[in-house]
Chains A and B, each alone.
Chain A
């Protein structure tokens, strides 16, 4: 069954849509959730919430890319869940490590004046990503969207870990420069 058929089932309120989604995407979603949460039971709950969220949202939304759509949902669900636990830095998960790395791009502390609208920031990040060559973009998103480990990201990008690390460093520096230029208060 392909994505179009699955989305159509959601739109028709056919409950088999969830089963079809599970069959197609359970492993993919579990992996993202696990990278963030580092706990199988939490990850499973998170993935189940993702199915529910898809069920609730798809009549209104019509995702063209179902896997990415689900990936975004599970990512946010997992991050929210992790925040709830309030032990982010102690988790030792890839999310925590990714966050640590990104902390060099922006300074800590958040005042109302400094708080940029996430929508503007999201748009700026998109513009930035479009300036990157394909390998750097895939590396960046693999690491900071999917929270894949550096080793794994390097592996599927076909480069050594040290090169991946170095490329990520350069990309983060470029992002910092780009966001400053765009007027974000870092």
Chain B
């Protein structure tokens, strides 16, 4: 067999298998369904695949703080070309307070994931195994996923859209003293990811939790930018809460990406819309519904 034959076979794979890669690759759902997942950086940072965002040309350094007097929550959104934070990111949303959650406040079955991680680390074969330390679990409903996490302060904003996928991503962090040998893991980050669709508007939500096992600077949401895209920052105040908004234009197919950030009760909530410009009104409405859902 020649490599060309394998390449040819890859080129013929079913179109349905290309949907998720298209979505991630283009940062544009367009008329396709989407998958998308959160991803963990080497140091346990939450990274989103679908946080595409934008243009080297329009970068701003500086943050827009978002908090309201009398309300706990909110955060700061910063954009800049490369290395906004300590990692290679072009934007980051961080909380204004320490949002690390004691593991004892996480009561769900997700806590047992570290046992699986330990087992996988013990059986790790570099030529055929997945890297241990991360797990994903799919759910039929958001409620099941919330139960699985078991953090009672987790708010579930309800928007009227068809749910496509619900996934909980969990990252472990190697316990001190086990590095270099067969590692054992503590719970580090948990992200509940939900995908929706409202007509041509594709929506992703991420609820990100970090535990006390990580350093404070490992909390927050960070993303990278792609050339030729343009970003603008904004804030919107709803019920006294200041939400940070990042809008990306110039995605493939002419779509727009708009992401909204909020932090409350030590959870970072983000919602990301991908849509054709003609659907801006629909997105504005969904965004408003989402922001009003926080009480």
Binding site for B on A (CB under 8 A): 2-4, 24-25, 27-28, 31, 63-69, 71-72, 75-76, 79, 98-99, 102-103, 105-110, 114-116, 118-119, 121-122, 124-126, 129-130, 133-138, 141-142, 144-146, 148, 152, 155-160, 163, 167, 170, 173-174, 177, 184-186
Partner of B7, one of A66, A98, A170: A98
The reply to whether A145 and B6 form a contact with Cβ atoms under 8 Å apart is no
Interface residues of B in 160-197 (CB under 8 A from A): none
A115 to B126, CA, bound (A): 30
Interface string of B1-30 (1 = CB under 8 A from A): 111111111111111111111101111001
Could you show 26 A-B contacts with beta carbons less than 8 Å apart?
A24-B254, A64-B16, A65-B19, A67-B32, A69-B15, A76-B11, A106-B6, A109-B2, A115-B1, A116-B1, A116-B5, A118-B9, A121-B5, A125-B13, A129-B17, A135-B49, A136-B130, A137-B21, A138-B49, A141-B13, A145-B21, A156-B24, A156-B25, A158-B41, A160-B41, A173-B128
Cβ–Cβ contact A71 & B18, under 8 A: yes
How many residues on B have C-beta within 8 angstroms of the other chain's C-beta atoms?
A: 54
B13 touches A145 (CB 8 A): yes
Q: Is B52 an interface residue (CB 8 A)?
A: yes
Of the residues B5, B13, B14, contact of A115 by C-beta under 8 Å: B5
Nearest opposing residue in chain A for B126, CB measure: A170
Do residues B253 and A110 form an inter-chain contact, with CB atoms below 8 A? no
For residue A126, give the distance in angstroms from its CB to the closest CB of chain B.
5
B49 touches A4 (CB 8 A): no
How far is the CB of B29 from the nearest CB of chain A, in Å?
Answer: 10
Once the chains bind, are A141 and B127 in contact (CB under 8 Å)?
A: no
Taken residue by residue from 37 to 67, chain B's Cβ proximity to chain A (1 for < 8 Å, 0 otherwise) reads as: 1010110000111011000000000000000
Tell me which of B32, B127, B226 contacts A170 (CB under 8 A).
B127
Contacting pair B9 A72 (CB below 8 A): no
Query: How many angstroms from the CA of A107 to the CA of B5 in the assembled complex?
Result: 11
By the criterion CB–CB under 8 Å, are B136 and A121 in contact?
no
The 4 closest A-B pairs by CB, nearest first: A68-B15, A158-B47, A68-B18, A121-B9
Q: A71-B18, A116-B1, A141-B18 are in contact. Are A79 and B25 (CB under 8 A)?
A: no
Query: Are B1's CB and A66's CB within 8 A?
Result: no
Our pick among A27, A28, A160 for the contact of B88 (Cβ within 8 Å) is: A160
Known: A159-B47, A160-B88. A68 touches B1 (CB 8 A): no
> B7 near A144 (CB under 8 angstroms)?
yes
**Complex contact A141–B21 (CB within 8 A):** yes
Whole-angstrom CA separation of A177 from B49 in the bound complex: 28
Q: Contact between A126 and B14 (Cβ–Cβ < 8 Å)?
A: yes
B35 within 8 A of A: yes
Cα distance A79–B6 in the bound complex, in angstroms: 13
Are A156 and B30 closer than 8 Å at their CB atoms?
Answer: no
The residues of A that contact B260 with a CB separation of less than 8 Å are: none
B13 near A118 with CB under 8 A, answer: no
Asked if B224 is at the interface (CB within 8 A of a chain A CB), the reply is: yes
Task: Give complex CA distance A145, B15 in Å.
Answer: 11
A115 to B1, CA, bound (A): 6
Binary interface encoding of chain B residues 121-145 relative to chain A, with 1 for a CB under 8 A from any of its CBs, else 0: 0000011101100001000000000
Residue among A105, A106, A163, A186 with the most chain B CB within 10 A? A106
Smallest CB–CB gap between B9 and chain A, Å? Answer: 4
Given contacts A72-B12, A133-B136, A138-B20, contact A156 B27 (CB under 8 A): yes
Q: What residues of chain A lie closer than 8 Å to B52, measured between beta carbons?
A: 156
Name B4's closest neighbour in chain A (CB-CB).
A99
- Asked if B18 and A145 sit within 8 Å, CB to CB, the answer is yes
